[in-house]
Structure 1
């Protein structure tokens, strides 16, 4: 039943103004709505995320959200040119491999980075 409906994500922010500078100035996103002290960003396919204030931002050790991209290396390079710093994790995947900061394994290529609030975000390209 739930698969018949769009899924949206929430991104926590300790400092919404700082987080908005990261998402808008660094990533180049445009807020479509402002409400409840936060901002909503809309993406392809009718998807969206809500950036909201909370003292719990950055506490998760897992990815909060990801963008599915067509050419992960070119998107990664473009984001690096805008100042985004990518992470490298010690993954328990004997079948995976790193190439220029992109991990390939489990049927996808992935590259992770953190936002200004410490949330882990990712680029994913199915292979």
Structure 2
């Protein structure tokens, strides 16, 4: 039934103008706004919908993972742009990169508290 549909994901934030500035300027994503909602235009063709919610509760899981070729360089660039990486126990280096089992990954939050990550492919 949905094999050929171009599904897309979405998540809520508590402040659309702040989210637009963060995703567009801080992260450098192509962002459009329509009907009070944002569309993050990322590679792959399907946008990610960011919508306002008065009683927004940040997601307790990673809402967006950004694959990168060089996680250390990307982490340093994000830190230079004011990003603070989250600490989830042991195994993270001074940049916040998890260096245990699995891929190299580092987590940070958007202004609404949603968890995002950079992950080295």
**Fold shared per TM-score above 0.5:** yes
Aligned to 1:18: 18
Change over 3 Å in CA distance of 1:56–1:72 after alignment to 2: farther
**Cα offsets for 1:56-97 (capped at 9, x unmatched):** 434322111111111111111111111111111126xxxxx3
Under a length normalisation based on structure 2, what TM-score does the superposition of the two structures give? 0.83
Q: Is the 8 A contact 2:71 2:118 kept in 1?
A: yes
Uncovered stretches (5+) of structure 2, i.e. residues with no partner: none
Instruction: Determine if the alignment matches structure 1 residue 99 to structure 2 residue 98.
Output: no
In 1, the alpha carbon distance for the partners of 2:77 and 2:34 equals 30
Contact 2:12/2:50, CA 8 A, preserved across alignment: yes
Alignment root-mean-square deviation, CA: 2.2
Task: Please identify which structure carries the higher strand content.
Answer: 1
- State the match for 2:67 in structure 1: 68
Q: Determine helix, strand or coil for the equivalent of 2:40.
A: strand
Residue 54 of structure 1: CA displacement?
1.1
Q: Is the 8 A contact 1:68 1:123 kept in 2?
A: yes
